[in-house]
Structure 1
Amino acid sequence: MGRAEERRARQRGGGHRAAPKRSSRAGAKGGAKAGAKSGIRRFFTWKKLLGTFFGLCLLGMAAFVALYLMIDVPKGNAAAVQQSNIYKYSNGDTLARDGDVNRELVDLDQVSKGVRMTFVAAENKSFYEDAGVDFKGTARGLLNTLSGKGKQGGSTITQQYVKNYYLTQDQTVTRKLKELVISLKVDRQESKDDILAGYMNTSYYGRNAWGIQAAAQAYYRVDAVDLDVAQGAYLAALLQAPSQYDWAVASDTSKKLVTARWNYVLDNMVEEGWLSSAKRDGMKFPVPKDPKGAPGLQGQAGYLVEAADTALKKQLVAQGTAADMDEAETMVKAGGWTITLNIDKKKQAQLEKSVKSQLTSKLDAEKRNIDADVQAGAASVDPKTGRVLAMYGGVDYVKHYTNNATRRDYQPASTFKPLILAAAVDKDAETQDGTPVTAKTIYDGTSKRPVVDDGKKVGFAPPNEDDVDYGDVTVQTAMNKSINSVFAQLGVDVGMDQVMKTAGDLGMDVEGAKSVPAQTLGTMGASPLEMAGVYATLDNHGKKVTPALVKSVEHKDRAVKFPDPIGDQVISPEAADTVTSVLTGVVDDGTAKTSVRDNPARDGQQVAGKTGTSDCNKSAWFTGYTPKLVTSVGVFGEAAKAGTTRCGKDKPVKVKAFSQVTLQGAAGGGRVNGGGFPAQIWATYTFGVMGSVSKFDLDTDQGAAVQPTITPTATQPPTTPSDDPSTEDPTTKPPTTSPPPESSPEETPTESEDPPTPTTSAPSPPDGIELPTDPDDPQSDQ
């Protein structure tokens, strides 16, 4: 049989060649591998994996069904029925009650359909079609909560309504699961319109406005029924971050963000067919009206309540109880807080009385338009404890919403000069020729003298008040007379970086401020409360004092503890005491002598202080202190309405309401100097509450307090300070063409408090900081 036939026969019979035999060792090894592999496959089969997955799904579904059956829709919680917050004076007497919620419930038919849909477009476009929950968003929120990433968005309108009305703002897994179940049930039990109405009525919009009706009034002074779509879109956008997006207080960045969200809302409406493109294109951003105080907080109470709330919110964030200021505001506005302030009831009453007697009673807006533009602010601090004992925020919280005691938009002017001296003494500064800086160091007081650094001019040559040339003077005299040219050079001698650092250490907010010579004129903003804290640190021998308005806080659910207002030593005691000693000369021999030194109520009380008047006379200041009390008083020019204003001989310019304007001519007088109304208010208040006379305990051999020029006495004047500011008007005094004689700290100056009117102005400094251009009102007078 041939090979081919043999092969065919074998194929027909199914025969095969025998396979070669393998060794027993190889077979054993291969069998072990195969056995192990088959064991793993038996354990991780696709059927088992699929079964496990479905098992877990069934288990999750069963757990959810159990939750659904166990959790019922609760009654509205305490957050839906707001409590009052109680505010008390330091002695326990009630100052105010706030928290009777500023809310008026409205039916959905009282809100136009277009406005309703702005909320849907902003928060939940599928609201009318979904089942009340966003499973994907909720799952994301749960994961973020478990991973510690904080609060996240993604909830439907129904879920947000449930959170507002039935639950709390707590960011926990339990609360989120409850929110999910209750939202599903509420969506089945209530109509979509009722849910939307509930959401708009329970949401917080900022400005103490709860619900859309209150928000419409707070932002646009109209009822909810009269809101247009553009306004509704702003209110809907506002809900994402009420504090951040409030146009009146928003930063430039926040304004861009809320404008972008406003556009997003309207674009969504067009996309969904709820708004025509033509109407959308014709809409302009509806800038809200300025804030208005809440009813029931008239007088100073509203300013104190607002400031206390702000302090509490900041502390809630600082201690980690709240993630941000918006969440903190929600907690505070939810009510149930008892807040005791450090405000001394008697001192508060005396401060209000002093402002009225020395300033507001002399203003008559019907006779003089300028009188309507005058605002006052003041803060009084205990330098040993840091307690804020009194605060004056304005004429009335419901008439003027901005707190003048805490606002930072006006220049403190020459009240900044003591900080330059503090830096000089603390850092052992030297003049350009290597002479140590002391109170007796001689400087050239020539007006508009170019400032020099290392032999080179720095491009800054500020004028003195009324362009007076003083010649060679001591630092003490320069402080007494507030000589700009001296302190501009002194600032460069110390180093402007060091000056600004010292200012920050003492308590000024210098963030973003440039370290340039023009800062020696006090060109950055500051508040009376801020300046009171700075001078309190000087009074406290260089140990940091941070003004504390709140004494204690009580709440049934939360504990809040405020930090100690007294901090570390920020400058040496000798530096602080030297400044205090020098500043007694301002009172006894300088720009504050008429209102403070000669006040019959002084009774020998030792006083240190500094006056200041800013560019164009837009602000006037006196910050002064005794060993037991520090008080800063500011008088500000703020346009009561849109109109025109001018600085001296400048051409009139148009200004908007609330713009900064000159105080010139207020109360029928001339220029409003720091030694006028501010110092008069300070003296009437301080000498009215000071109690026993006290002396400074100073660790220094420098300054006017070491060898007082004039012994404080109550026998100087027979009458109280002049009520007629016109007696300080520089236009009533004859001009002088030669420099006044130099007076040392041991001499009594013969020059009048207000020098003659200048005839020239200062050049503009570098770095974009504006100096005065008005020849009648240079940058800083005192």
Structure 2
Amino acid sequence: MGRAEARQARQRGARRAARERPSGGKRTGIRRFFTWKKLLGTFFGLCLLGMLGFVILYMVVDIPEGNAAAKKQSNVYKYSNGEIIARTGDVNREIVDLDKVPEKVQKTFVAAENKSFYKDEGIDFKGTARGVLNTVTGKGKQGGSTITQQYVKNYYLSQEQTVSRKLKELVISLKVDREKSKDDILAGYINTSYYGRDAYGIQAAARAYYDVDAKKLNVAQGAYLAALLQAPSQYDWAVATPTSKKLVKQRWNYVLDNMVEEGWLDSAERDAMTFPEPKDPKAPPGLEGQTGYLVDEAKREVLRNSGLSEAEFAAGGYTITLNIDPKKQKQLEKAVDKKLNDRLDRKKNKADARVQAGAASVDPKTGKVLAMYGGENFVKHYTNNATRRDYQSASTFKPLILAAALEHGATTQDGKPITAGTIYDGTSGRPVKGGDVAFAPPNEDHVDYGPVTVQKAMNKSVNSVFAQMGVDVGMPRVMEMASTLGMDVKGLPAVPAQTLGSMGASPLEMAGVYATLDNHGKKVTPALVGSVEHKDRTVDLPDPIGDQVVKRTTADSLTSVLTGVVDDGTGHAVRHPVQDVAGKTGTSDDNKSAWFTGYTPKLVTSVGLFGEGAPGTKEQGQQVSMKGAGGRPRVDGGSFPAEIWAAYTFDAMGAPSRFDLQTDMGAAVAPPPEPTLSKEPKEPSSTPSKPEKDPTSKPPSQSPSQSPSSSPPTSSPSQSPTSKPPTQEPEPTHTIEIPEDPDDRVPGRD
């Protein structure tokens, strides 16, 4: 064999060996099908197909006729029996030319939504791609649209979030940007956008928020309206929560800072600006009296629970059936008029003019809101007193402390289980023991109760007892219980001062809390809206009745104890000869709010009175004292609120009913006896105690074992009886200084 043949043989052997090796560059299996060349080819092929598809889409899709206004319909609100409450939805819009809007105000919208508006081609490819991806993957309605895209969506398309709608938006936006000037697009955008308060377009918004024409808006006002578009209801200053007010101010600053950055506003002019608070809204015609409160809150509840956007809902076509029983609604209005409004002279008496009333009534078995009182008149007082949360809940919070104790099996400082029969020191101003924060709250009128049972402390609303109980249970557990039962306590510190109900709450919220107790511990979230119907879609609402959130024995024990407040305590104004009633009074710091929240087995109602500065006075809108209203030295929970509650409940409840309770404590069964005090003479207290203000008090109707002649002891801790009951906690052995923190320096409340 020649050398050439030998070389060829070696080469063949080498190739054969390479094929037989497991590695060394041989492409086997999947690698034969996916090479870099093939992957790049596929990628560019898909890009070409996408470009071709977009070109075809661009050729096929034309700019449609504007149809937003043509699709607007009314929304219909009905009572539970089908009777129509109101119709809303007539489009409040007045188109104005762009030259009627100050140039700097125009720029606020560009600064808020799309700084590149004057330079771009009408679309944001990155933002649109993100929006399409989020829609496909089910991550919600997200994306970064340009002003042109938002105008197209408002005027030419629907608000639905689908891939096809987003692609149409993209194509139409490109065409609109080529066929219309930037000024025409900006004018269309600010004239079609929804600003809240049923205002469409900048002219209606200028009137709704600042009571001026659009041409009279200044830059600061324009920046607020531009900021408002991100979340109209949430950022409406008149109803915004503290968090929402903070957010809208941040966005307002963001808009102005962007204007400075783009050279549209002088920095010195910007630095001199202050936030322009909008005027209070005015009720539209047909929403006078209680109607406006019902309709406005129903709309908020639908938006909160249905997943509908504001624009979708405002487009109309919805029938909203409320759970409101028209008969009970009239009974509640009648009770407020008879027991409060008819006794006040708001024109002549300054104290009377300060009183605002709110109430909500709930069926504890279904969670339906059967009646609601929002205020004197929606046209005169826009804020709904039944849902406002800016006033302290006061002593209506005390049952939640005992609920936390029972649910967790908490004990006193000396290890005794906390029950209705546990004995605490009820001395006014007694420093709490075991807490991280010094706290020594006085009782109402500085009354000293000495050794007192938890039952009696609840009956008489003894602050010093529940402050100590809160520390014994642990304030984090107390706040957790409040949240579990339906109060919004997010961000609030777990400090002993909360035991006096220093957090805000609404009558509707407190009705839900007590309804959960009435419902044996199954969560009740009050529902004003029963159903929402639309011919083109199904709207689902959450079930008002939730899971068992506290043990039945805990809830029933609280109900049992709260009957004592009615039978032998501050709630005696609502006693009934045959009807079981449980409830709690509350009166806040300086008599700025007064409450009675009570219930029968079939009906839970919370009534709140709030001191608010009257219109036209320097106190307008501020929280003020109600002292002197109705000719009374003060308005406490056992006065007007309890009287309103009784007048309504006993008219609306139907046949009398009895509580079905699984408990062994409280006034629904015989309460534990009062502690026996030593009869040895004691030195008089340096500060004489005032007698209880309960001249009509009588023994509990269901507690034959309780002595009607018993009265609370008034001895101070230093004069303790020589013989203490076995569960009585030891007397204080040291003094804790009252803190200087204003949140902890709280006068006595009931």
Q: Distance in 1 between matches of 2:391 and 2:690?
A: 33
1:24: which partner in 2? Answer: 8
User: Percent identity between the aligned chains?
Assistant: 69
Change beyond 3 A, Cα 1:275–1:706: closer
SS in 1 for 2:62: coil
Q: Distance in 1 between matches of 2:365 and 2:398?
A: 23
Match of 1:590 among 569, 576, 580: 569
1:704: which partner in 2? Answer: 667
Q: Distance in 2 between matches of 1:705 and 1:63?
A: 76
Match of 1:443 among 386, 410, 424: 424
2:603 counterpart of 1:629: yes
Unaligned runs of 5+ residues in structure 2 are 673-686, 701-705, 713-735
Within a 5 Å distance, the mapping from 1:476-625 to structure 2 comes to: 476-593=455-572, 595-597=573-575, 602=576, 604-625=578-599
Match of 2:614 among 630, 634, 640: 640
Deviations 1:362-388, CA, capped at 9 Å, x for gaps: 222332222222111111111122111
Within a 5 Å distance, the mapping from 1:109-188 to structure 2 comes to: 109-128=99-118, 130-146=120-136, 148-188=138-178
SS in 2 for 1:97: strand
Q: CA deviation at 1:146?
A: 4.3
2:57 counterpart of 1:73: no
> Contact conserved, 1:293 with 1:400, CA < 8 A, in 2?
no
> Contact conserved, 1:121 with 1:269, CA < 8 A, in 2?
yes
Q: CA deviation at 1:403?
A: 1.6
> Contact conserved, 1:120 with 1:127, CA < 8 A, in 2?
yes
1:780: which partner in 2? Answer: 749
Q: Distance in 2 between matches of 1:380 and 1:471?
A: 37
Q: Distance in 2 between matches of 1:92 and 1:111?
A: 45
2:287 maps to a residue whose letter is L
Q: TM-score, normalised by structure 1?
A: 0.80
Q: Distance in 2 between matches of 1:351 and 1:699?
A: 31
Q: CA deviation at 1:143?
A: 4.5
> Contact conserved, 2:665 with 2:671, CA < 8 A, in 1?
no
Stretch of structure 1 that moved more, 150-159 or 244-253: 244-253
Change beyond 3 A, Cα 1:572–1:107: same
Deviations 1:497-534, CA, capped at 9 Å, x for gaps: 33333333332233333333322212222111111112
Q: Distance in 2 between matches of 1:314 and 1:22?
A: 87
Change beyond 3 A, Cα 1:65–1:33: farther
Q: CA deviation at 1:420?
A: 2.4
Within a 5 Å distance, the mapping from 1:47-66 to structure 2 comes to: 59-66=49-56
Q: CA deviation at 1:330?
A: 2.7
1:673: which partner in 2? Answer: 636
1:748: which partner in 2? Answer: 708
How many pairs were matched up?
A: 697
> Contact conserved, 1:439 with 1:476, CA < 8 A, in 2?
yes
Q: Distance in 1 between matches of 2:402 and 2:39?
A: 78
Q: CA deviation at 1:488?
A: 2.2
Q: Distance in 2 between matches of 1:395 and 1:173?
A: 48
Q: Distance in 1 between matches of 2:27 and 2:663?
A: 90
> Contact conserved, 1:471 with 1:739, CA < 8 A, in 2?
no
SS in 2 for 1:612: strand
Q: Distance in 2 between matches of 1:624 and 1:224?
A: 49
Change beyond 3 A, Cα 1:751–1:272: same
2:587 maps to a residue whose letter is T
> Contact conserved, 2:428 with 2:443, CA < 8 A, in 1?
yes
2:718: which partner in 1? Answer: none
Stretch of structure 1 that moved more, 496-505 or 666-675: 496-505
Within a 5 Å distance, the mapping from 1:350-365 to structure 2 comes to: 350-365=331-346
Stretch of structure 1 that moved more, 82-91 or 204-213: 204-213
2:656 maps to a residue whose letter is V
Q: Distance in 2 between matches of 1:391 and 1:553?
A: 19
2:53 maps to a residue whose letter is A
1:286: which partner in 2? Answer: 276
Q: CA deviation at 1:250?
A: 4.8
Q: CA deviation at 1:156?
A: 2.9
2:286 maps to a residue whose letter is G
Stretch of structure 1 that moved more, 386-395 or 740-749: 740-749
1:769: which partner in 2? Answer: 743
SS in 1 for 2:305: helix
Match of 2:365 among 381, 384, 390: 384
Q: Distance in 2 between matches of 1:264 and 1:496?
A: 39
Q: CA deviation at 1:192?
A: 3.7
Change beyond 3 A, Cα 1:586–1:763: farther
SS in 2 for 1:747: coil
Change beyond 3 A, Cα 1:694–1:224: same
SS in 2 for 1:702: coil
1:91: which partner in 2? Answer: 81
Q: Distance in 1 between matches of 2:278 and 2:311?
A: 22
> Contact conserved, 1:459 with 1:766, CA < 8 A, in 2?
no
Q: Distance in 1 between matches of 2:260 and 2:437?
A: 58
Stretch of structure 1 that moved more, 64-73 or 677-686: 64-73
1:660: which partner in 2? Answer: 623
Q: CA deviation at 1:348?
A: 0.7
2:379: which partner in 1? Answer: 398
Q: CA deviation at 1:140?
A: 4.7
Within a 5 Å distance, the mapping from 1:251-266 to structure 2 comes to: 255=245, 257-266=247-256
Deviations 1:11-60, CA, capped at 9 Å, x for gaps: xxxxxxxx9997223433678999999999xx999999999888766654
> Contact conserved, 1:548 with 1:565, CA < 8 A, in 2?
yes
Q: CA deviation at 1:432?
A: 3.5
> Contact conserved, 2:392 with 2:588, CA < 8 A, in 1?
yes
Match of 2:91 among 93, 101, 122: 101
Stretch of structure 1 that moved more, 205-214 or 247-256: 247-256
Q: Distance in 2 between matches of 1:142 and 1:738?
A: 71
Change beyond 3 A, Cα 1:153–1:55: closer
SS in 2 for 1:452: coil
1:14: which partner in 2? Answer: none
2:654 maps to a residue whose letter is G
Stretch of structure 1 that moved more, 662-671 or 137-146: 137-146
Q: TM-score, normalised by structure 2?
A: 0.83
SS in 2 for 1:196: helix
> Contact conserved, 1:381 with 1:629, CA < 8 A, in 2?
yes
Q: CA deviation at 1:682?
A: 0.4
Q: Distance in 2 between matches of 1:743 and 1:487?
A: 24
> Contact conserved, 1:202 with 1:210, CA < 8 A, in 2?
yes
> Contact conserved, 2:564 with 2:668, CA < 8 A, in 1?
yes
> Contact conserved, 2:68 with 2:154, CA < 8 A, in 1?
no
1:416 maps to a residue whose letter is F
Q: CA deviation at 1:624?
A: 1.0
> Contact conserved, 2:293 with 2:374, CA < 8 A, in 1?
yes
Change beyond 3 A, Cα 1:62–1:450: closer
2:676: which partner in 1? Answer: none
Stretch of structure 1 that moved more, 557-566 or 428-437: 428-437
> Contact conserved, 1:217 with 1:223, CA < 8 A, in 2?
yes
Deviations 1:295-339, CA, capped at 9 Å, x for gaps: 43222222222222222222234xxxx6xxxxx323322222211
